[in-house]
């Protein structure tokens, strides 16, 4: 019997609840929408009561396409419900509010409205919708990070749904409960749910559910250290896939074994099983599975120094990714293809694929930024509608208090003083409510401002990378133009190291000083390699600085060094000198960049209008980054640029940058 171990698998059968992980939410929202929405089946004859449920139906139809319109209809339904004292209408209105907020990603608000709806349904005996309300509450609690409350409502759903005929929903909730238990390392509980699912699948003859249960029981058994049980269930999963002639499930089985050998760092065996997974995916006509396996096989070959063999797999993967429209897979395949060409010495192919990788990465980044901005705009509009709904609730509460006060006055006229106290307390409570609402609105506005600032900061930082990359590529072009192939190859090799480091750091708001210094040294080495007849340099870091314990914003120092080389030293007639010093003074990191170039005034005289505009834009971006960082993080980053003089003549430029020390 083959030995194999832990396989962290996806749950391929969570077709009903994939939105429980927020990044998968958009994929399944149409399917989830049909499950979340409650459509009142009963109708009443009174026209006003009928309009309540007509408005709710309209709201439900707009949840996905126009949330603002949905909220307008809910507002009308809630207003009619209060006027008609229709608690059933209130319950369905609050439930629809929960659905809208869930689809907008406002899960805490979703929980609040679902709880209101559930309380009303319980009080009026609307039992047929209680299971769905409990399941939706479980979903909202889980995506908001409260797994304990999510588990409580999912278990309540199982109890309530067990009395009904919603067997499909029961299966899906059991799958979610098993995952929650596994995440909390409650493996016995997770195993129980998977065995229940296995029994249900065998009884119903559900082939995929049985295969998934076998695989999941094996995986949980391995987490518990029970290798014998795990092996027996993996064997059952393989046998079941073969008996049912299901190549797709066979591919999953071989992929599980491949991942085990990857954990053991036995790459030859991993390659054998991943190729088997690829064969089965091709046989099943599973294009997505085929694409995944091709990228995986190529990655293993690259790690085994067989980059040439990896290239055909990656080329096929790119073709499938384009066919399926999976942009992320295209980006990954282009990146690995660039690496493979570099390893086989095809630097032109490496550069071409790396450019394509950057283009796709940039388009993805722009699309995400656009979606973020649109989401912020929509949130502002939705907030206005929710404010109106909140006013309706407040008016209802205020109206109820006044009615109660008048009834008491009619019954006991002599208790005027007591009635006055009640009115005063009500007014005081309303004042507190207004103050509290104002504070909430102010806090929300401040949080939105901070979010906008962070978005602007990321945008400015993303603008630095293309500027830096294209300047570096100009250096490669200069070597190629001179037919200096050896120098170009050497420069491109070092340039690829620098690009990997820059792109890795660009993912983070702060990086270690050690990582940033590595990039600066690589960059200075490359510029000196190109302009070695123009300048020498010295790069000093105080030996007492623990560079791994200090964090700074990425690409903050490099533009000043680039300006010193390109706009100061490059135009100097004789050989210049550049000195970079990094020292620590108390809780401040001081970076000085001094050059004996031609100075800023002379540099401006030599530039074209376009060059002056580019430099001005670059320096404005740096200053904007510093201003936003200071405001968002409450820090005191400072930059000071001085023109050096010698006997009244320009003698270079000095940049002094003060960075507050942030420890990891």
As a whole number, mean pLDDT of residues 424-453 equals 71
Tell me which of 367 and 35 has the higher pLDDT.
367
H or E element in which residue 66 lies: none
Radius of gyration of the chain (CA): 32
The pLDDT of residue 235: 85
Name the pLDDT band for 410 (thresholds 50, 70, 90).
very low
Q: Is the pLDDT of residue 395 over 70?
A: no
Q: How far apart are CA 47 and CA 468, in angstroms?
A: 68
Please compute the mean of the pLDDT values over residues 540-547 and round it to a whole number. 90
- Kindly report, residue by residue over 48-61, the tens digit of the pLDDT: 788 888 888 998 88
Is the pLDDT score of 316 beyond 70? yes
Lowest mean pLDDT among 345-349, 451-455, 492-496, 533-537: 451-455
Q: Cα separation of 26 and 293, whole Å?
A: 25
pLDDT of residue 479: 66
Instruction: Report helix angle 347-411 to 327-343, nearest 10.
Output: 150
CA-to-CA distance for 400 and 476, rounded, in angstroms?
77
Of 629, 614, 623, 618, nearest in space to 457 by CA: 629
Query: When comparing pLDDT for 309 and 427, which is higher?
Result: 309
Q: Quick one: pLDDT band at residue 428, thresholds 50, 70, 90?
A: confident
- Nearest residue to 637 (alpha-carbon basis) of 650, 627, 624, 648: 627
pLDDT digits (tens, 9 = 90+) for 88-143: 988 998 999 899 888 888 888 889 999 999 999 999 998 888 888 999 999 999 98
- Residue 400 pLDDT class (50, 70, 90 cuts): very low
- Which is higher by pLDDT, 416 or 153? 153
Q: Which long-range contacts (CB under 8 A, 24 or more apart) does 38-47 make?
A: 38/92, 38/95, 38/96, 38/129, 38/132, 38/133, 40/88, 40/92, 46/84
- Indicate whether 599 pLDDT > 70: yes
> Residue 318: pLDDT above 50?
yes
Q: What is the mean pLDDT of residues 168-190?
A: 89
Q: Is the pLDDT of residue 449 over 70?
A: no
Section 521-550 average pLDDT: 89
Q: Given a cut of 70, is residue 42 above it in pLDDT? A: no
Rounded to the nearest 5°, which phi and psi values hold at 162? -60, -20
pTM for this model (two decimals)? 0.49
State what percent of residues in the chain have pLDDT above 70: 76
Is the pLDDT confidence value at 370 over 90? Answer: no
* pLDDT above 90 (res 160): no
pLDDT score, position 606? 73
Mean of pLDDT values over 525-529: 87
Task: Check residue 35 and give its pLDDT.
Answer: 59
Is it the case that residue 363 has pLDDT exceeding 80? no
pLDDT value at residue 23: 32
- 42 vs 76, which has greater pLDDT? 76
105: left (phi over 0), alpha (psi -120 to 50) or beta: left
If one counts every other C-beta atom within 10 angstroms of the C-beta of residue 645, the result is 11
What's the whole-number mean pLDDT along residues 296-325? 90
Tokens of 183: 């995440």
Assign 451 a pLDDT band (cuts: 50, 70, 90).
low
Higher pLDDT, 396 or 523: 523
Average pLDDT over residues 476-498: 75
Average pLDDT, stretch 534-558?
A: 89
Q: What is the pLDDT of residue 228?
A: 86
CA distance 397 to 224: 54
Residues 263-273 have a mean pLDDT of 86
Distances (CA, A) of 88 to 47, 84, 123, 153: 15, 11, 10, 22
Would you state the structure tokens that stand for residue 66, as one six-digit string? 């126009």
Name the pLDDT band for 21 (thresholds 50, 70, 90): very low
Q: What is the pLDDT of residue 20?
A: 31
- Among 36-45, 272-281, 410-419, 544-553, where is mean pLDDT lowest? 36-45
458 confidence band (pLDDT: 50, 70, 90): low
Task: Tell me the pLDDT of the chain averaged across its residues.
Answer: 79
User: Above 90 in pLDDT, residue 540?
Assistant: yes
pLDDT at 658: 92
**Alpha carbon distance 655, 643 (integer Å):** 9
Give me the DSSP letters along 424-454.
HHHHHHHHHHHHHHHHHHHHHHHHHHHHHHH
Q: What is the mean pLDDT of residues 554-558?
A: 86
pLDDT reported for residue 476: 67
The pLDDT assigned to 14 comes to: 28
pLDDT at residue 118, as a whole number: 92
């Amino acid at each position: 019997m083959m030995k194999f171990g832990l396989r962290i698998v996806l749950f391929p059968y969570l077709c009903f609840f994939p939105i429980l992980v927020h990044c998968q939410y958009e994929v399944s929202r149409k399917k989830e929408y049909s499950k979340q929405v409650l459509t009142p089946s009963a109708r009443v004859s009174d026209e006003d009561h009928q309009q309540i449920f007509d408005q709710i139906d309209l709201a439900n139809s707009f949840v996905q396409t126009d949330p603002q319109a949905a909220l307008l209809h809910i507002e009308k339904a809630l207003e009619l419900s209060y006027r008609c004292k229709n608690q059933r209408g209130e319950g369905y209105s609050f439930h629809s509010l929960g659905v809208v907020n869930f689809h907008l990603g406002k899960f805490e608000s979703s929980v609040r409205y679902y709880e209101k709806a559930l309380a009303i349904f319980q009080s009026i005996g609307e039992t047929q919708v209680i299971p769905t309300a409990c399941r939706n509450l479980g979903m909202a609690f889980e995506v908001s990070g409260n797994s304990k409350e999510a588990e409580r409502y999912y278990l309540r759903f199982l109890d309530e749904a067990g009395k009904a005929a919603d067997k499909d929903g029961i299966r899906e909730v059991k799958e979610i409960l098993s995952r929650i238990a596994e995440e909390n390392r409650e493996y016995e509980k997770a195993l129980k749910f998977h065995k229940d699912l296995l029994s249900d699948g065998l009884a119903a003859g559900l082939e995929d559910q049985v295969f998934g249960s076998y695989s999941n029981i094996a995986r949980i058994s391995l987490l518990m250290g029970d290798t014998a049980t795990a092996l027996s269930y993996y064997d059952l999963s393989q046998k079941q896939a073969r008996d049912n002639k299901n190549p797709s499930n066979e591919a999953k089985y071989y992929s599980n074994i491949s991942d085990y050998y990857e954990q053991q760092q036995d790459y030859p065996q991993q390659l054998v099983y991943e190729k088997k997974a690829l064969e089965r995916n091709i046989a099943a006509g599973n294009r997505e599975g085929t694409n995944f396996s091709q990228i995986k096989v190529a990655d293993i070959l690259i790690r085994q120094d067989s980059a040439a063999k990896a290239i055909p797999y990656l080329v096929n993967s790119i073709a499938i990714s384009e066919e399926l429209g999976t942009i992320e897979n295209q980006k990954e395949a282009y990146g690995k293809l660039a690496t493979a060409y570099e390893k086989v010495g095809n630097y032109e192919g490496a550069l071409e694929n790396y450019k394509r990788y950057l283009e796709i990465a940039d388009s993805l980044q722009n699309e995400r930024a656009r979606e973020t901005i649109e989401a912020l705009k929509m949130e502002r509009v939705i907030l206005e509608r929710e404010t109106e709904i909140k006013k309706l609730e407040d008016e209802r509460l205020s109206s109820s208090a006044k009615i109660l006060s008048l009834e008491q006055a009619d019954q006991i006229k002599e208790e005027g003083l007591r009635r006055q106290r009640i009115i005063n307390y009500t007014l005081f409570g309303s004042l507190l409510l207004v103050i509290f609402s104002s504070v909430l609105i102010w806090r929300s506005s401040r949080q939105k401002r901070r979010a906008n600032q962070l978005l602007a900061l990321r945008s400015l930082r993303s603008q630095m990378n293309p500027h830096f990359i294209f300047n570096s590529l100009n250096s490669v072009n200069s070597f190629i133009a001179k037919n200096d192939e050896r120098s170009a190859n050497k420069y491109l090799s070092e340039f690829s190291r620098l690009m990997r480091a820059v792109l890795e750091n660009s993912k983070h708001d702060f990086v270690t000083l050690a990582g940033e210094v590595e990039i600066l040294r690589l960059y200075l080495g490359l510029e000196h390699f190109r302009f070695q007849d123009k300048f020498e340099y010295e790069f000093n870091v105080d030996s007492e600085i623990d560079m791994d314990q200090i964090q700074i914003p990425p690409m903050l120092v490099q533009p000043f060094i680039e300006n010193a080389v390109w706009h100061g030293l490059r135009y100097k007639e004789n050989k210049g000198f550049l000195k970079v010093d990094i020292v620590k003074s108390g809780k401040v990191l001081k970076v000085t960049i001094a050059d004996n170039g031609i100075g800023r005034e002379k540099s401006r005289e030599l530039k074209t209008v376009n060059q002056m505009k580019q430099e001005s834009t670059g320096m404005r971006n740096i200053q904007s980054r510093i201003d936003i960082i200071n405001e968002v993080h409450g820090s005191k980053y400072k930059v000071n640029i001085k023109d050096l003089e010698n006997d009244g003549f320009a003698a270079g430029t000095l940049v002094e940058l003060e960075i507050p020390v942030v420890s990891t």
